Structure 1
Amino acid sequence: MEYINEINSEGFVIIDNVYDENEIKKLISIIENVTKNKTDKTTFRKSEDLFAIRQFHKEIPETLDYIFNENLKDIIKSIFDENYFITKSIYFDKPEKSNWFVAYHQDLTISVDKKLEIENFENWTTKQNQFAVQPPKEILENNFTIRIHIDKTTKDNGALKVINNSHSKGIQRIENIEIKKEKETICEVEKGGVMIMKPLLFHASNKTTNNERRRVIHIEFSNTELPDGLEWSEKTKLN
Structure 2
Amino acid sequence: MSLAFGAELDELAASLLPGARPVRIIAFNKTEANNWTLPWHQDRVVALRERAETPGFTNWTNKAGIWHAEPPIELLERILFARIHLDPADSDNGCLQLALGTHARGKIASADADALAQSVSIEDCVAERGDVLFAKALILHRSSPSRTSAGRRAIRIDYCAEPLPPSLEWAA
Instruction: Give the TM-score taking structure 1 as reference length.
Output: 0.66
**Higher mean C-alpha deviation, range 180-189 or range 161-170:** 180-189
Q: Distance in 2 between matches of 1:118 and 1:98?
A: 36
Shift of 1:181: 2.3
Shift of 1:98: 4.6
Shift of 1:180: 3.2
1:82-106 per-residue CA deviation (whole Å, 9 max, x = no partner) reads: x322111111111146531111110
State, as a whole percentage, how many aligned pairs show the same letter: 30
Instruction: Give the corresponding residue for 1:225.
Output: 163
Which of structures 1 and 2 has the bigger CA Rg? 1
Instruction: Give the TM-score taking structure 2 as reference length.
Output: 0.89
Q: Is the 8 A contact 1:96 1:214 kept in 2?
A: no
What residue ranges of structure 2 are gaps of 5+ in the alignment?
Answer: none
**Greater fraction strand:** 2
Compute the RMSD of aligned alpha carbons: 1.9
Shift of 1:80: 2.8
Instruction: Give the corresponding residue for 2:138.
Output: 200
Aligned partner of 1:176: which letter? D
* 1:186 paired to 2:124: yes
Distance 1:69 1:191, change over 3 A: farther
Distance 1:131 1:98, change over 3 A: closer
Tell me the number of residue pairs that the alignment of Structure 1 and Structure 2 aligns: 170
Instruction: Give the corresponding residue for 2:6.
Output: 68
Shift of 1:128: 2.7
**Greater fraction helix:** 1
Q: Distance in 1 between matches of 2:169 and 2:123?
A: 35
Distance 1:230 1:191, change over 3 A: same
* Larger RCO (alpha carbons 8 Å, 6+ apart): 2
Matches within 5 A, 1:124-135: 124-135=60-71
The 4+ residue runs of structure 1 with deviation greater than 4 A are: none
Shift of 1:69: 5.7
Shift of 1:73: 4.4
Q: Distance in 1 between matches of 2:133 and 2:43?
A: 15
